[in-house]
Structure formats: structure tokens, C-alpha cells
Amino acid sequence: MYAVSETADHILFPFKKGFDLMKNEIIRILQQNARISNTAMGEMLGISPEQAAEEIHKLENEGVIRGYSVIVDEDKVDSSTVYATIELRVTPQRDCGFDDIAKTIMMYDEVESVSLMSSGVYDLSVEVKGNNLKDVAFFVSERLATIDGILSTSTHFILKKYKEKGIFIDDDETDERGLG
């Protein structure tokens, strides 16, 4: 189900049934810019900066907002960093399904994220970060592949990121046809 935002820009956003429209709008705004001031947030929502701060604080205390992150153009910081997506075929465990294996995997420092997939040839998608190709290959072969219940792995090295979490990484301006 979708609901129309009541702010001036009238943007559509997912509406979780039973979840306050204001909270949905705050989340949408913070996902676009987590550093937005309470004043700007309040202006966008038609509330005071103090009310905006209070609503954000409530979302943090309720565990809805779990943290904030920075999107970095890694080429400008450290070109030797390597990212990979690893697809895992897994045997679900009795009484817990994929949860215990996912919890084991997410404890490794190299792991950026772990996701359960709905269908296809693999069950879990794991995003990892390493210092070089060899580090990632070692992590996959010596740590991930040896976990009980993991049937197979398929590693895909990320060569370049163009967009992450809705933010364009590449500075090059292109026209809408992508011609230059």
C-alpha cells in the first residue's frame, strides 16, 4: 500500500499499516540525508525543530532507527579496498531455519551485510570488504565455506559502484540518455 506525503513535495513513499505517517516521512527524509538539521526537518514536516528531534529520538529508542552511515566514494579514499558479494547455498537448520548461520556469518569483521533471499539458486547474500582480492578469497575459502550447513559459495567482486542507497557515486554528469 502507498500513501501520499503531506509535505510540499508530495512524494510517494511506502506506508506500513499501523505506522504513523509522520514516522514514515521522517525515515524517508533521514534515508536521503541523515545529517539534516532538526530545523530543516521540522520545516519539511510542518512541525517545530523540537518536535522533529523528539520524533527522531523516539524512533531511535524504539529501535526503528538502528544507526546512521556515510556513503563514501572509495576510489577517492583507498583504491585498494575490495568489495564482494557472496552468494551462499545453505541447508536450513531445524527450529531456526537460516537464522543461526546468518548470525554466525554476521559476526565476522569482514562482513558488511547479510540478507536472506526469497528465491533463486542461493539462500543468503553476503556483502564483504577486504584489503585485497587475496584477503576476500581467503575469507570465503577458509571461513565462510567451512561453516556447517553451507553447501556452496559463489563470489562476485564489485568492480565499481555507480549508486549506493540512492546516492550517485560517479561525479561524471551524463544526459538522461547516458550519452555524455
What digits encode the pLDDT tens for the residues 13-40? 444 555 688 899 999 999 888 999 999 9
The pTM assigned to this predicted structure is 0.71
Which tens digit of pLDDT belongs to each residue from 128-172?
999 999 999 999 999 999 999 999 999 999 998 898 888 888 766
Q: How many CA atoms lie within 13 A of 141 on its CB side?
A: 6
Q: How many CA atoms lie within 13 A of 138 on its CB side?
A: 8
What is the domain-level CATH number for residue 97?
3.30.70.920
What is the rounded CA–CA span in Å between residue 70 and residue 64? 18
Cell numbers 565476522: residue: 108
Which tens digit of pLDDT belongs to each residue from 76-85?
877 788 999 9
Q: Is residue 66 domain-resident?
A: no
Contact yes or no for 25/56 (Cβ under 8 A)? no
**What are 24's three cell numbers?**
514514515
Q: Is residue 85 domain-resident?
A: yes
Residue 59: burial class (beta carbons within 10 Å; 0-12, 13-18, 19+):
middle
- What does the pLDDT read at residue 5? 43
Give the count of domains, the chain: 2
Q: Is residue 125 domain-resident?
A: yes
Q: Is residue 23 domain-resident?
A: yes
Q: How many CA atoms lie within 13 A of 9 on its CB side?
A: 9
Q: Is residue 152 domain-resident?
A: yes
Q: Are residues 29 and 92 in the same domain?
A: no
Q: Which residues constitute the domain of residue 33?
A: 2-61
